[in-house]
Structure 1
Amino acid sequence: MVDSSQLPKLPITLLIIARNEASAIGRCLDSVPFAAEKLVIDSGSTDGTQDVSQRHGARVVYQEWLGFGPQRNFASLQASHDWILALDADEALSPELANELRERLPQLMQSSNAGAILRRQTWYMGAPMRWYRPMVGERMGRLYHRGRARWTDVRVHESLRFDGPTPTLKHPFIHLNNPTLVHKQLKTLRYAELKARDWLDRGKPVHMWMTPFVYLTAFIKDYFLRLAFLDGWRGFIVSQTAATYAAYKRMRYYEMRRNPESRDMAADLLHGYGLDP
């Protein structure tokens, strides 16, 4: 068997934005052995993420949290290479995708393509989801040339905007989604806070009367139309969680508008959990 660490490196940067990801980030870094550079943008970890990252071959740069979109755009500028593979700390390349990238990247990087679309396979509650569409083969822009693509400047739910062709790769990368429901609920609180603040910046109108319908519509869409029901109780749980998030972020936005003091109070509480909005 060939030792992958001895194979030639490719001029690409593996880029991870992280905070308090010591338990997961090593697996992510090790899954991309062909990257000439591994770069972690840390926003103030207190669990040793920086040390773990360095032990797994990464360069670590500190940047105070800017929001997901701005943080990723800052990170792109810190890379030593124009071609970038962006992963989250709880994600990793499958061996099949790592081999596919090693074979296809040289030609891709010589082309005029802006990047490539990758597919993501999600593990939830300790096993892969089999039917729920957003967690089975979800298409995501994660490989890009930084001169031909840019992350949207939003606090949460950022995405890449490409300026050029983007082929789709065959094999998936793996997402180990939230080790527990407690982690998921904390993340939901943070994401809702970020989304509500984006709405506040844009002066989005408040339509609280829509909230019950938003909840019901979101649950029906995920549970039935996106086939979550075929994944059993895990499908029910993921649909209920998504519907709750859709409703809660609207309620939180209503509260921000009605009681502006709640913004700083909530930010201080989330900060105590290491979840800066």
Structure 2
Amino acid sequence: MPTLPITLVVITYNEANNIARCLDSVPFAAEKVVIDSGSTDDTVAIAQAHGARVVHQDWLGFGPQRNFATTQCSHEWILALDADEYLSPALCAELEQCLPELMASKICAAYLRRATIFMGAPMRWYLPAMGEKMARLFHRERARWADVRVHESLRFNGPSVTLKASFNHENNPSLPEKQVKVLRYAELKCRDWLEKNKPLRLWEMPFVYPVTFIKDYILRLACLDGWRGFVVAETAASYAVYKRMRYYEMKCNPGSVENAAAALTRHGIDR
């Protein structure tokens, strides 16, 4: 595949097991940039060995970190992937055909479909894991990431397209890693809520778990993925409840914010 004037950008922290596969899956990118927030493993060396320019940036939160990454890119068109994501051969072939025309257009962004591998195997039925649409290919002057600590999304006002083939997401190789990520994401989300002074709605608490579980297990078809689907739905429901309990604690015990941050840092979770 010929090289195209596009930048692949990846934000990393201790991704030595994933970064080579991610970078190598995008052979057509004229530039590959890794924004690393202080990895203590071999992430930086591996990224450099696989053709990436590595830039250090202390962790700013997902949205601000991605916006900083955009400023480090040399090309107008950017493909943003996480280190545990990688393009499929089918998506590479589709991009080979459509990228030149897309890059010459007034399109702001392109949605890519993400397929998830969970507990060592692809999810076959769970809807969010089967072709979830995510805006990951964009023009740097026409789109910007939301400035939030977690669950960031690309914001743009203008035309977009959706590609057919999917890219892959190796979602948390083990349940302990999944739980660590859930804990970290909940903490970041609650800090955003705290800054915005989101109202407490404690009456929701008894209903959040069953509603979320039923939504994911039944309506989103996780039940058809067997026990792996049960685990996905249970994790989603537990996360929905926990982040509300944690936000309640932050509001009634403000000192817990700094105490928790220190504890998470000691365990290498917060950054």
Fold equivalence (TM over 0.5): yes
| Pairing 1:117-266 to 2, within 5 Å after superposition | 117-266=111-260
Q: Match for 2:9 among 15, 18, 24?
A: 15
Distance (Å, rounded) in 2 between the aligned partners of 1:23 and 1:33: 19
Could you say what secondary structure the match of 1:167 adopts? strand
Alignment partner for residue 115 of structure 1, among 109, 115, 132?
109
Distance 1:98 1:276 in 2: 34
Q: Which runs of at least 4 in structure 1 moved beyond 4 Å after TM superposition? A: none
Q: How many angstroms does 1:211 deviate by?
A: 1.4
How big is the shift at 1:209? 2.6
Contact 1:65/1:276 (8 A) holds in 2: no
Cα 1:273/1:56, change in 2 over 3 Å: farther
* Deviation at residue 163 of structure 1 after TM alignment: 2.5
The 1-side partners of 2:267 and 2:75 are apart by: 34
Unaligned runs of 5+ in 2: none
Mapping 1:93-108, distance limit 5 Å: 93-108=87-102
Q: Percent identity?
A: 66
* Paired positions, count: 271
Q: Distance in 1 between matches of 2:67 and 2:156?
A: 13
Q: Per-residue CA shift, 1:241-276, capped at 9, x if unaligned?
A: 000000000000111111111111111122223322
Number of the residue aligned with 1:4: none
| Residues in 1 aligned to 2:135 and 2:266: alpha-carbon distance in whole angstroms | 32
Superposed CA RMSD in Å reads 0.9
Deviation, 1:215, is 1.1
Query: Residue 25 in 1 paired to residue 19 in 2?
Result: yes
Where does the alignment leave 5 or more consecutive residues of structure 1 unmatched? 1-6
Q: How far 1:210 moved relative to its partner?
A: 1.1
Map of 2:55 onto structure 1: 61
The answer to whether the aligner puts 1:50 opposite 2:44 as a matched pair is yes
